[in-house]
A and B are shown apart, each in its own frame.
Chain A
Amino acid sequence: MSKKSSSVTVKYRLILIFWSASILLLWQVVSMGGMVSELLLPSPASVLSTLKDSFINGDLTTQLLFSLKVIFTGILVSVAAASLLVFAGQRSLMIQGLVQVLSVIAHPLPALALLPLIIVWFGTGEASILAIIIHSAIWPVLLNLKSGFSTIPPIYLDAAKNLELNAFSIAFEIQMMHALPHLIAGIKIAFARSWRALIGAEMVFGAVGDTGGIGWYIFKQRTFMNTPGLFAGILVVVVVGILVESVLFRLIEKNTVEKWGN
């Protein structure tokens, strides 16, 4: 990175910190000034204290872990299924056609639109939440993977043939590795879509499993008119989103595609 672009990055980071701190400060001032009722806008301090209490004495840790477990399972299943579908589509024109028709129909369909149907079909258990996540995740992963597989430079395929690789190895050891940047981009979209759908579904389904997930936590706070709790839940949703996007995916990209010069 050049000196100039590095100083621009530092400057931009400072701007981001400035705006984050300003929003927090404005929130604190408005809530302290008594202009808005504490029931509608609790102070950041009271939200933090509720958050701490929910993590230590309440079920928030279990609920958060439940949501994360379901979302990561759903994404993992989606990646595996999408990979097999893309591979099968390469081998058979019939399967390729089927995948095309299914993705054209299902990709633009929001998961929440399917919620009532999923409740009718599968009830309101963990399997239904998983079905919603898989629906949200599989199509963006599939479309990105398909594009990654098809854009591989022919020279890698020739080199693979020279190494006597079979079709399975070519797909999963060569095309899949070349498609990794596409796959990561697909999983990012999949996570964003699934995270929204998951929170929504958990609010509708109630306490799935022992304690329910983070969506149920937020919904419960509204039932008891616990506004600091509502804010605490929303804060957790935001922080998890940021951590996954900016830390987890960033780390994966740094250790793979960036290292390889993509």
Chain B
Amino acid sequence: MEISLKGVTKEYHSGGNNIKVLDQLSLEIKSGEFVSIIGPSGCGKTTLLRHIAGFDGGKPSKEIFMIFQDSNQLFPWKTLGENLSYAIRKTKRSINRQTADAKAKESLSLVGLLDFYDYYPNQLSGGMKQRGALARALAVDCRILLMDEPFSSLDSDNKELAYELLLHIWKEKKLTVIFVTHDLAEASRLSGRVLYFKDLNGKAVI
């Protein structure tokens, strides 16, 4: 699944002023590509991802799944396994509970969290929660992963493990990934194509 944006503009009203966060932004990403977008904090990277996901008035779907920077994105009232099983049942109406549970286990084993199926999110570390969120995206068979600085709170060892896991899953599942970060080393470590946000924004439509 590919992404094609042409001349996207987003404005916010704040304190009587109009702030143009996305200004004639254009972006082309091929299906199966892993692209990193780099830029300083507050430049509009998250706004761009939210636009692609459809959170700003579009039609969000499980096809384009967002992994947020905040690791508290799993529902805290459900165990890790229930979070995934619930997501599967909600996005595939015809599936029964047993099949959903089995698929949840399969996704958790992909990210190495099968042993934590019955754990509540508050019993997991930040890195494990992010892996759990990734497993949820895989469980619903998303085609495009939007990742908003998902590993920024991890230490360097855990970051490296997360990178390896993400690259392995990207190749195996043939996903399209947009990875947003402010860390150039992280961007180059992960993707073949690194785009600078300032090069995309404020340009005329191609």
Contact = CB atoms under 8 A, between A and B. Distances in A.
Interface stretch (A8-16, A27-35, A162-170, A201-209): A162-170
Interface in B122-142: 122-123, 140
B75 A164 contact: no
A37 interface: no
A161 interface: yes
B53 interface: yes
A177 B120 contact: no
A177 to B, nearest CB: 5
- Which secondary structure characterizes the binding site on chain A? helix
Interface of A: 153, 155-156, 158-159, 161-165, 169, 174, 177-178, 180, 256, 259-262
- Which secondary structure characterizes the binding site on chain B? loop
A169 B90 CA distance: 10
Contacts of B120: 259-261
Contact of B53 (A162, A164, A256, A262): A162
Interface of B: 50, 53-55, 60-62, 65-66, 68, 70, 72-77, 86-87, 90-91, 120-123, 140
Contacts of B75: 156, 159, 174, 177
Nearest to A165: B90
Contacts of A169: 90
A250 B150 CA distance: 37
Given A153-B72, A260-B122, A162 B60 contact: yes
- Nearest 7 pairs of A and B residues by beta carbon: A261-B122, A161-B60, A177-B77, A260-B76, A163-B90, A260-B77, A155-B73
A83 B120 CA distance: 26
Contacts of B65: 162
Given A162-B66, A261-B121, 14 more contacts: A153-B72, A155-B72, A161-B54, A162-B61, A163-B62, A163-B86, A164-B60, A164-B61, A165-B90, A169-B90, A260-B120, A260-B122, A261-B123, A262-B76
A177 B123 CA distance: 18
Contacts of B50: 158
A261 B76 CA distance: 8
Contacts of A161: 54-55, 60
B68 A158 contact: yes
Contacts of A153: 72
A48 to B, nearest CB: 43
Given A164-B60, A164-B90, A158 B70 contact: no
B70 A164 contact: no
Q: Which of B53, B77, B87, B123 has the most CB of A within 10 A?
A: B77
A174 to B, nearest CB: 7
A261 B79 CA distance: 12
B66 A158 contact: yes
Contacts of B73: 155-156, 159
Contacts of A256: 77
A42 to B, nearest CB: 49
B140 A155 contact: no
A162 B164 CA distance: 25
B196 to A, nearest CB: 26
Nearest to A161: B60
Given A158-B68, A259-B120, A261-B122, A163 B77 contact: no
A242 B15 CA distance: 52
Contact of B68 (A155, A165, A180): A155
13 contacts: A155-B70, A158-B50, A158-B66, A158-B68, A159-B74, A161-B54, A162-B62, A163-B87, A169-B90, A177-B75, A259-B120, A260-B76, A260-B120
Contact of B140 (A158, A163, A260, A261): A163
A164 B76 contact: no
A155 B66 CA distance: 10
Nearest to A256: B77
Contacts of B61: 162, 164
Contact of A180 (B62, B77, B121): B77
A164 B77 contact: no
Contacts of A178: 77
Contacts of B54: 161
Nearest to A174: B75
A163 B68 contact: no
A159 to B, nearest CB: 5
A164 B91 contact: yes
